[in-house]
Amino acid sequence: MTRHAIVVGAGLAGSSAAERLAARGWSITLLDAAAAPGQGASGNRAGVLRPLPSLDDNRLARLTRAAFTHARAHFHALLADELPLRWRQTGVLHLARDEKQAATQRRVVEERRPPAEDLRFVERAEASRLAGWPVANGGWWFPNGGWVDPASLCRANLARHATAIAAHFHCRVARIERPAECWRVFDENDRCLAAAPVLVLANASDARRFAATAHLPLRPARGQVSHLPATDGTAPEIVVCRGGYVTPAIDGIRCAGATFGIDDTDTVLRTADHAENLVRLDAILPGYGAAWRAETLDGRVGCRPMSPDRLPMIGAVADPTAPIPRQPVCPLAQLPRQPGLYVIDGFGARGIVWSALAGELLACLIDGDAPPLPADLIDAVDPGRFLLRGRAGTARRQPSPPGDD
Ligand SMILES: Cc1cc2nc3c(=O)[nH]c(=O)nc-3n(C[C@H](O)[C@H](O)[C@H](O)COP(=O)(O)OP(=O)(O)OC[C@H]3O[C@@H](n4cnc5c(N)ncnc54)[C@H](O)[C@@H]3O)c2cc1C
């Protein structure tokens, strides 16, 4: 087979998939409707990089821990190649919302025993010192976490293999088909934009526009971030989360967010949402939000591509028209797939953390390499799981909040 793939979407998902395939010698035709990489959900000024521990070390926790480690290694590699990624390991403080949650956070650290450089529980006094602001509770301290400029990560991914990745912008894919051995993608005027044996869909919730992937339960969730004018070097100089997040000042702007509106795709900024973010900010750092008025704030809106179980979709797309074996022993392995069609999507509120590992996993699945995750986690992110909903071992919902912290 020709090692040529079309990737639709140049956000975190598409740029990571393209980068990992190009690293294996594939040539990539990358198509995006926008004018540049990282203009959709991946276009915020900054987002949070941190793991998601849990008492039972569930699949979401394990996946995110693996992804966090992988992302940091990927970032180091990009910077070693002098690529223009912007991220800072400032540490991330996740404050407990009350004493009950603080007790749970303490237990997670005591029982799971993570290395102290990855995670510690800090009491209220230390948390206040780290934040540079008096806070109401202690919380989890992730010294290796930080903020990431996601569009810079997209650009760095593509720049790493600038010869192998032919990126085309202002190209909206309206239709896909596989008449013979190749996938062909078409624009709104039914002009063929590209043809290749492998097609990777990384166009967020828009992937549902294609008949071949219309069965994937992707939904957009609007999120508005508020931009707070701030002087560099003022507190907090770390990322602080608690039902939302606030970043350090980055080029004179602190990001505070974010709202969450399922199936809302309106990209116009709302004063009411800035007001909501200021309330959220006050819950993180009491009294901090008083310095700003919602009416005067700028910000940014993006739509997270959500999946119903809060886990991403990475792998070969199943064929929803083919009969599913009635009592399969190994259901996902037996699901009929659409040849050459892959998806990397459903990153929800975690794309900054997940994308590097997701890109590597997808490239391994396409190229037949040893995958970077154990089999149960590969099954957990298999896009075919939704066709088996209700059958044993599939599509369990993770006990995870939808928010970005
Ligand atoms: C407000 C907000 C805060 C967030 N905070 C965090 C955080 O703190 N930490 C974290 O880990 N994650 C966070 N996220 C989540 C993260 O940003 C997303 O998971 C990630 O950006 C999704 O990447 P993507 O590539 O799937 O989607 P996108 O970045 O939206 O990329 C999809 C691309 O596909 C293109 N496209 C769509 N349709 C077509 C088509 N038909 N043809 C061609 N191109 C098409 C679009 O132009 C776009 O470039 C946040 C998201 C939001 C919105």
**Tens digits of residue pLDDT in 36-83:** 999 999 999 999 999 999 999 999 999 999 999 999 999 999 999 999
User: Are residues 103 and 134 part of one domain?
Assistant: yes
- Tell me how far the alpha carbon of residue 42 lies from the centroid of ligand 1, in angstroms: 4
- Does residue 306 have its Cβ closer than 6 Å to ligand 1? no
Q: Whose CA is nearest to atom 41 of ligand 1?
A: 173
Query: How far, in Å, is the centroid of ligand 1 from the Cα of 136?
Result: 33
Tell me the per-residue pLDDT of 140-181, one tens digit each, with 9 for 90 and over: 999 999 999 999 999 999 999 999 999 999 999 999 999 999
Distance between Cα 391 and ligand 1 center (Å): 30
Peptide bond into 258 cis (omega under 30): yes
Judge if 131 and 236 occupy the same domain: yes
Q: Is the Cβ–Cβ distance between 24 and 363 less than 8 Å?
A: yes
Per-residue pLDDT tens digits for 180-233: 999 999 999 999 999 999 999 999 999 999 999 999 999 999 999 999 999 888
If one residue of 284, 344, 352 were mutated to test the ligand 1 pocket, choosing by the most ligand atoms within 8 A of its CB, it would be 352
Residue (of 270, 293, 277) closest to 245 by Cα position:
277
- Does some domain include residue 341? yes
Q: What is the mean pLDDT of residues 14-20?
A: 98
Q: Which atom of ligand 1 is nearest to the CA of 354?
A: 11
DSSP-derived secondary structure for 117-131: TT-EEE-HHHHHHHH
Average pLDDT, the chain: 94
| Statement to judge: residues 314 and 379 lie in one domain | yes
Q: Are 376 and 235 within one domain?
A: no
Q: What is the pLDDT of residue 233?
A: 86
Residue 405, domain member (yes or no): no
CA 78 → CA 222, 250, 322, distances in Å?
30, 20, 42
Query: What is the domain count for the chain?
Result: 2
Same-domain pairing of 233 and 380: no
- Let me know if residue 400 belongs to a domain: no
Does the structure show a pLDDT above 70 at 329? no
25: exposed, middle or buried (Cβ count in 10 Å: 0-12, 13-18, 19+): exposed
Answer yes or no: is 75 within a domain. no
Cβ–ligand 1 contact at 343 (below 6 Å):
no
Q: Are residues 105 and 172 in the same domain?
A: no
Q: Which residues pair with 140 in a beta bridge?
A: 94, 121
Res 239: pLDDT: 98
- Examine the pLDDT at 398 and tell me if it is beyond 50: no
Pocket test for ligand 1, best of 238, 304, 342 (most atoms within 8 A of CB): 304
Closest Cα partner for 278 from 246, 300, 301?
246
302 and 227 belong to one structural domain: yes
Using the 3D structure, point to which of 265, 284, 306 is the last residue of a domain: 306
Best CA proximity match to 19, nearest among 154, 152, 150 = 154
Is residue 320 located within the same domain as residue 246? no
Q: Which atom of ligand 1 is nearest to the CA of 302?
A: 53
Same domain, 114 and 230: yes
Query: Is residue 239 included in any domain, yes or no?
Result: yes
Q: Which residues of 271-309 are buried (b: 16+ CB within 10 A; e: fewer)?
A: eebbbbbbebbeebbeebbeebebeebebbbbbbbbbeb
The answer to whether residues 311 and 374 belong to one domain is yes
Confidence of residue 324 (pLDDT cuts 50, 70, 90): confident
Helices (H) and strands (E) in the chain, counts: 9, 21
pTM value > 0.75: yes
Domain termination residue (choose one: 288, 306, 324): 306
Please tell me whether the peptide bond between 236 and the residue prior to it is cis, using omega within 30 degrees of 0: yes
CA of 92 to the centre of ligand 1 (A): 22
State if residue 149 touches ligand 1 by the CB under 6 angstroms criterion. no
Residue whose CA lies nearest to ligand 1 atom number 9: 48
**Per-residue pLDDT tens digits for 291-315:** 999 999 999 999 999 999 999 999 9
Give 266's contacts (C-beta < 8 A, 6+ positions apart). Answer: 222, 301
Ligand 1 centroid–CA 371 distance in Å is 24
CATH number at residue 30: 3.50.50.60
Instruction: Decide: 33 in ligand 1 pocket, CB within 6 A.
Output: yes
First to last CA, the chain: 42
Same domain, 235 and 373: no
Q: Which domain holds residue 200?
A: 4-43+152-218+307-388
Nearest CA to ligand 1 atom 32: 203
- Pocket of ligand 1 contains residue 145 by CB under 6 Å: no
**Do both 162 and 214 map to the same domain?**
yes
State the pLDDT at residue 393: 41
